[in-house]
């Protein structure tokens, strides 16, 4: 794992934007894995700014989102499709037909939809860079604790904690789905690179379990310990329970020199 620690969430977003930017300039038809939640909003704002000011081009980019609420209408303001349109897709030159989410409508079979999504990812050549956030309980995508570390795209029932954490995003009389379609942990770790962003004190325990805890389905993000190219970008609050931060910072300064000399990606 490359662990990178910054003072502020804005620096976290900027660093994540550097990874996306570098990939898209090197491989314009790259396949990006995208995440929702409040953490990546600033990353998307940075990418939009780079598109407007610095000609960052999405014309050939293909994207796969981690998850989507089960049986939600795509045009519902609470759908992850609406979130992505609002924060990124409507503001850059991406072709909407190249943007995918693991949807499942009322008339569709979630098992079949999961298989279809896996096939689409495979047919696109696989994900080059997967962006991730982390839940306060260590989930990635909607892979709640106890999810198989080998899981693939499927329907998941959300935990009470996740429902509570996400209830802030729903109005009082708005229906909050208790199930979602999500890439599995096996799907996520198949990506060539994964970049997880975490900010704020309420993520500190999950971050510590992910990095220093045992590899365990109890903390789905700990699966990144097995990933060849995992980058974890934290602000100082999210990193506040880690004990080896001096080493991480020293290693990061060395990695930056290596990246400058040899490039960020060695197999993109």
Q: Residues in the site for ligand GLP, rule: CB under 6 A?
A: 35-39, 66-67, 133-135, 141-142, 162, 166
Q: Are strands 193-198 and 129-132 parallel, antiparallel or unpaired?
A: parallel
Active site annotation includes 128: no
- 67 assigned to active site: yes
Distance CA 236, CA 126 (A): 32
Minimum CB–partner distance for residue 41 and ligand GLP (Å): 8
Give least dist CB 235 to ligand GLP, A. Answer: 12
Q: How far is the CB of 66 from ligand GLP (least distance, A)?
A: 5
HSE-CB for 235 with a 13 A CA cutoff: 17
136 vs 268, which CB is nearer to ligand GLP?
136
* Cβ-based nearer residue to ligand GLP, 70 or 265: 70
Work out how close the CB of 124 gets to ligand GLP at its nearest, in angstroms, rounded to a whole number. 20
Helices 9-26 and 41-54 pack at an angle, to 10 degrees, of 50
Minimal CB distance to ligand GLP: which residue? 133
Task: Decide whether 67 or 128 has the Cβ nearer to ligand GLP.
Answer: 67
Q: What is the 3-state secondary structure (H, E, C) of 218-248?
A: CEHHHHHHHCCCEEEEEECCCCCCCCCHHHH
Query: Maximum Cα–Cα distance for the chain, whole Å?
Result: 54
End-to-end Cα distance, the chain: 18
Least separation in angstroms between CB 166 and ligand GLP? 6
DSSP 46-112: HHHHHHHHH----TT-EEEESEEETT--TTSTTSHHHHHHHHTGGGS---GGGEE-----TTS-HHH
> Which residue is catalytic, options 15, 42, 65, 67?
67
> How far is Cα of residue 56 from the mean position of the Cα atoms in its chain?
20
Residues labelled as active-site residues: 67, 137, 139, 144
């Amino acid at each position: 794992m490359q662990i990178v620690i910054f003072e502020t969430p804005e620096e976290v977003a900027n660093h994540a934007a550097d990874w996306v930017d570098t990939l898209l300039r090197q491989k314009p038809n790259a396949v990006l894995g995208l995440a929702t939640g409040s953490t990546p909003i600033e990353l998307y704002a940075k990418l939009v700014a780079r598109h407007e000011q610095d000609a960052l081009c999405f014309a050939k980019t293909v994207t796969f989102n981690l998850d989507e609420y089960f049986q939600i209408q795509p045009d519902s303001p609470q759908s992850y499709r609406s979130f992505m349109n609002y924060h990124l897709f409507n503001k850059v030159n991406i072709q909407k037909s190249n943007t995918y989410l693991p949807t499942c409508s009322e008339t569709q079979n979630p098992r079949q939809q999961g298989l279809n999504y896996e096939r689409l990812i495979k047919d696109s050549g696989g994900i080059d860079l997967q962006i991730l956030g982390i839940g306060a309980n260590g989930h990635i995508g909607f892979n709640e604790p106890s999810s198989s570390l080998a899981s693939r795209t499927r329907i998941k029932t959300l935990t009470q904690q996740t429902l509570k954490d996400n209830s802030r995003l729903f109005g009082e009389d708005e229906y909050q789905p208790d199930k979602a379609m999500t890439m599995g942990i096996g799907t996520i770790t198949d990506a060539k690179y994964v970049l997880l962003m975490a900010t704020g004190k309420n993520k500190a325990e999950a971050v510590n379990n992910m990095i220093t805890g045992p590899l365990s389905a109890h903390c789905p993000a700990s699966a990144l310990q097995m990933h060849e190219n995992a980058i974890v970008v934290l602000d100082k609050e999210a990193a506040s329970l880690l004990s080896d931060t001096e080493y991480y910072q020293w290693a990061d300064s060395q990695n930056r020199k290596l990246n400058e000399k040899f490039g960020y990606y060695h197999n993109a």
